[in-house]
Amino acid sequence: MKFLSVFIFLGFLLASELCAGYGTSDTGTTGSVFLKLAPGARPAAMGEAYAPLADDVYSVYFNPAGLNYISEGEISFMHSFWFQGINYSYLAYARPSDFARGSLGAAVTYLNYGSISRITDAGERKGDFTPYDLAVALSYARTLYGVDTGLTLKYIHQKIYDKQGSALAVDFGLRGRMLDDKLDLGFSFANLGSEMELDKNSHKLPFLMRLGAGYHLTENLSGAVQMNIPNDNDAGIHIGSEYTFGVISGVPVSVRAGYKTNSALDGLSEFSFGFGVSRDNIIFDYAASPYGKLGLAHRISLSFKGF
């Protein structure tokens, strides 16, 4: 655990350097922005402060080291209802593997922009087309020298009418527990890779570094604080909490709330909230995120464990 503490300290030093190097002047310098959309209703409801608390299939996205906390096979599907006919879906599967001496995970992200009319320069309609974004991720996690580590390899593909492009990227994460398993520390970075080339144009991927801590106040109450450092904006703070209690014949119900800075929208766009209900090995989660005048974005997740 001393190694983890040293690494987290070095992470804070790196975060300071990145904060100095990135800022709002870099806004708009990256592409493939769908990679910024966080999957999972539970993480979304908690303000996406999930790098130190990740312990399910959504670890593939937030912190692959969290896959070490999965004790059995788990699959989850999430669908998000966005705006103007945009649909966002995420499917993930993970399980421990004795053969691999660790945990394996896989995920598919798909963003569909709906049907768009193709209009010529003369104003004539020439049929419809459907732009989409796709990412396929494969993860491996293992505990090394007492520290949970994880690595994710990603294939990214985008298509707009007859133009398409692909890129490769890697994510990496660390997780550790201290103080009798009450304190969780997490570090991860995402989308370190090649540039996306689309119609002879190229753009950088939205690199992101996360550094956070979570604390379990009681068996049923936990919270987390996380710093996000992107390569195309200022650093932001994400805060999340979760409380679980038993109601309706002892069925566990969790309520969640989150807050994040650096929202470019008005209204209550910094806040998020949601809930989760589990019965046996089936888990249903819901999250709502205000997007100013655009309204609410809804995320629904359904997970199954035990296979």
- Out of 2.40.160.60, 3.30.2130.10, 3.40.50.300, 1.10.3720.10, which CATH number does the structure's domain 2-305 have? 2.40.160.60
**Distance, CA of 93 to CA of 66 (rounded, Å):** 13
Residue 59, pLDDT score: 97
Provide the token pair at 92: 């993930």
Residue 161, pLDDT score: 74
Residue 55, pLDDT score: 93
**Distance, CA of 278 to CA of 282 (rounded, Å):** 6
Q: Where along the chain do its domains lie?
A: 2-305
Residue 190 exposure: Cα atoms within 13 Å on the Cβ side:
27
Per-residue pLDDT of the chain (307 residues; tens, 9 = 90+): 554 555 555 555 555 555 555 555 555 567 788 898 889 999 999 999 999 999 999 999 999 999 999 999 999 999 987 766 678 899 999 999 988 899 999 999 998 876 666 666 666 666 666 788 999 999 999 999 888 999 999 999 988 877 888 999 999 999 988 888 899 999 999 999 988 887 777 888 999 999 999 999 988 899 999 999 998 888 899 999 999 987 666 788 999 999 998 766 555 778 899 999 998 889 999 999 877 666 778 899 999 998 7
